[in-house]
Amino acid sequence: MERRVFLQGLALPCLAAAAGTPSDAQFTVEARFYDKLAYKKIKCKLCPRECVIDDRERGYCGVRENRGGTYYSLVHSRVCAAHIDPIEKKPLFHFLPGTMAFSVATAGCNVNCKMCQNWDISQVRPEQVYATYMPPAKLAALARQNDCPSIAYTYSEPVVFSEYVFDSAEAGRAAGVKSVVISGGYIQEEPLKQLCRRVDAIKIDLKAFSEKFYKEVVNGELKPVLNALVTIRKQNVWTEIVCLVIPTLNDSDAEFQALARWVKSELGPDVPVHFSQFHPDYLLKNLPPTPVPTLERAKALCDAEGLHYVYIGNIPGHPAESTHCPKCRRVVVERVGFSVRAISLEGAKCRFCHQIIPGVWEKA
């Protein structure tokens, strides 16, 4: 099977339902996290934005709507993208390497990153993109049928379709399929804790280490994302961090060092950090791709600060794609691009020196 298979190309029986409308009950469930206010207004309590929303209006994410004082998600089971991807593409390097993840998304996002690569689904309303009906049990079954030990909620922002993530992760668990979340981490503590109880790994896009960048480029805030990372670690859910390095915007030595020091002190040195190459897209087309030496500088600075697993991403064939044992420095997971060439682990230990390599290595 190809690595990347559009769902429309699969002969799946669940595709009877086509694109829905905002009023389509098929995709609509009451939202989990909100407060009711006077005059039929509501306050969303899912993400730190805390949108106060009038009747008939939607929140910033565009996928949650106030209808008569009750708040609804419009994207439950409303899958607008589905692919079978290597888990390395997420990227999650310490989570079942060499396996495939059944990867899904709905429309919507709670930030608006100027460099978004998936803006055509993340920055639209659900009715503006083709979607198919894929209820949780069916999603879990599809993952199993396609030999995917995990479901990945990805591409757009799973926080805004968290009701679907919750239900699907539970269905997956019942079917023996794990769940991983690929998120910007802009979420309040209570929904995050509930998410952590249901999923097996979370990768956070730490888009920069400055509030200025978050305000100007992301339309969000850094502090809640850092808080989310700490919460995830405390909940003992496997965590990896990706930093997309953008020339002139978040590529200074000082920022890399500050990031490394914060990760080491607040999360520990074993949390993998991936520095990925930026490509111009969406509203940020005036900057070049990140030079490889910049990514190498970021890695070197983080290595020097004592982080154990620092990777370089989007540069296929770069040696820093592989996992090295922090004790004996031998390669324990060899990667080229999204392919895993060799795994030199015995259980969770380095085959050469028996150093424990943290991660989720077993399917069971």
Partner 1 sequence: MRGGSQNGITRRNLLTTGLAGALVARAAGADKSTVVIARDPALRGAGHSPDATRVAKLLDRAVESFYACDSPLEAWKKIVRPGEVVGLKVNCLSGRGAATSVVLVEAICERLQQAGIPQNNIVIWDRLDSDLESAGFRPSRGDRVRYIGNDSTGYGDELAIYGSAGSRLANTLTKTCDAVINLPVLKDHGIVGVTLALKNLFGAIHNPNKYHSDAGNPYVADVNMFPAIRQKVRLTICDGLTAQYEGGPSYMPQWSWPYNGLLVARDPVALDYIGWQIIEHKRAEMGMKSLRELKREPLYIATAADSAHRLGVNDPARIARVEV
Of 72 and 95, nearer to partner 1 (C-beta) is: 72
Q: How many CB atoms lie within 10 A of CB 291?
A: 13
Q: How far is the CB of 283 from partner 1 (least distance, A)?
A: 5
128: tokens are 């503006």
Taking CB under 8 A as the criterion, the residue among 23, 26, 145, 339 binding partner 1 is 23
Of 99 and 219, nearer to partner 1 (C-beta) is: 219
- Judged by CB under 8 A, the stretch of 59-67, 200-208, 232-240, 271-279 that binds partner 1 is 59-67
Of 48 and 98, nearer to partner 1 (C-beta) is: 48
Instruction: Report the C-alpha gap between 197 and 205 in whole angstroms.
Output: 20
158 binds partner 1 (CB under 8 A): no
Of 58 and 138, nearer to partner 1 (C-beta) is: 58
Instruction: Report the C-alpha gap between 90 and 335 in whole angstroms.
Output: 14
- Judged by CB under 8 A, the stretch of 55-63, 133-141, 185-193, 320-328 that binds partner 1 is 55-63
Q: How far is the CB of 112 from partner 1 (least distance, A)?
A: 5
157 binds partner 1 (CB under 8 A): no
Instruction: Report the C-alpha gap between 359 and 240 in whole angstroms.
Output: 10
Of 60 and 238, nearer to partner 1 (C-beta) is: 60
**Residues 260-299: x where in contact with partner 1 by CB under 8 A, - otherwise, as a string:** ----------------------xx----------------
Q: CA distances (Å), 28 to each of 2, 65, 84, 206, 298, in order?
A: 33, 10, 26, 31, 44
44 binds partner 1 (CB under 8 A): no
5: tokens are 């298979």
Of 64 and 94, nearer to partner 1 (C-beta) is: 64
54 binds partner 1 (CB under 8 A): yes
Closest CA to 153 of 173, 141, 139: 139
Q: How far is the CB of 120 from partner 1 (least distance, A)?
A: 9
Strands 349-350 and 345-346: antiparallel
Of 24 and 270, nearer to partner 1 (C-beta) is: 24
Q: How far is the CB of 190 from partner 1 (least distance, A)?
A: 23
106 binds partner 1 (CB under 8 A): no
Q: Restricting to residues 205-224, name those near partner 1 by CB under 8 A.
A: 219
Taking CB under 8 A as the criterion, the residue among 34, 60, 133, 214 binding partner 1 is 60
39 binds partner 1 (CB under 8 A): yes
Of 219 and 252, nearer to partner 1 (C-beta) is: 219
Residues that bind partner 1 (CB under 8 A): 21-23, 39-41, 52, 54-62, 112, 123-125, 127-128, 219, 282-283
